[in-house]
Amino acid sequence: MAAPGKLSTCRLPPLPTIREIIKLFRLQATKQLSQNFLLDLRLTDKIVRKAGSLANAYVYEVGPGPGGITRSILNADVAELLVVEKDTRFIPGLQMLSEAAPGKLRIVHGDVLTFKIEKAFSESLKRPWEDDPPNVHIIGNLPFSVSTPLIIKWLENISCRDGPFVYGRTQMTLTFQKEVAERLTANTGSKQRSRLSVMAQYLCNVRHIFTIPGRAFVPKPEVDVGVVHFTPLIQPKIEQPFKLVEKVVQNVFQFRRKYCHRGLGMLFPEAQRLENTGRLLELADIDPTLRPRQLSISHFKSLCEVYRRMCDEDPQLFAYNFREELRQRKTKKKEKQDDAKSYRL
């Protein structure tokens, strides 16, 4: 591990192109893993530039694949680059880069969804949450199949200030399907407004930096790709437990075309649904005929605060799941039908 604070410039020697690496190691994108390779180093350089100054920084790259973004990061004078790659086929090509940049590149064969990044870098890099972001960055061209669960996981880490955020307000520069990028950054009232919009924006400053056309990737995906930058906020806009916020937001948006009271009602058992939904909306001062996309972060803040008080009054309320209640009702109905058939026989 490079010593924090020691500035060292690095420019990679001449290497085979990414296209040549793919041929050399007979690499093919795996459809099941939603893999798409970005071969144009001008675009990978742009992604890295948009992450901010990486001179003497410690960078965690997720899903490096054949190493396009990896090269651009190494050429940005980083102190150390840690890459986590699940697919063993890419390891030899990454090892070639490691040999070209001695002491700069650490390769881990593992899964980004389970990798413990909080122990990967020196304790000396940690900064108080109220300070400027630490000299630690996350960068990645995420496979489409893991991008949403991974950003939700990291948002929860931000809320708890653990995982990659034990170092402070670690910044992230990540790729998503353009539609997902638009959802992450959608304003109140926008047609793209979604669960992701609220969950990301109550915890982070989120910017859709630029769009990469699908034709820039190999194989060409059916959609364009958005590059999104996240900076965790010093103070979250909703100061409630992540799981509580997530439950309220999920319930609201599961009926995104209905009035908001429809989804909010699913927070409560059927027997008390009408009464408790009315009480929630009244105490939160929310118009029940607003659509989910019309609800601002301030609206969700009020809803979460009132729902939290209702959960404190009834400790069993938070554990309630309307889908489980529906499943049990269907099971009982089937049992009655089976009993009736048995009786007739």
Binding region for S-adenosyl-L-methionine: 36, 38, 63, 85, 111, 141
Element (H, E) at 183: helix 178-185
Tokens of residue 271, six digits:
């027997």
Question: What CA–CA distance (Å, rounded) separates 222 from 228?
Answer: 19
Q: Which residues are annotated as a binding site?
A: 36, 38, 63, 85, 111, 141
Contact between residue 165 and residue 230 where contact means Cβ atoms under 8 Å apart = no
The closest of 303, 135, 318, 301 to 203, measured between CA atoms, is: 301
Question: Residue 185: which residues within 8 A CB-CB, separation 6 or more?
Answer: 197, 200, 201, 206, 207, 208, 228
Tokens of residue 95, six digits:
């090892």
Contact between residue 210 and residue 91 where contact means Cβ atoms under 8 Å apart = no
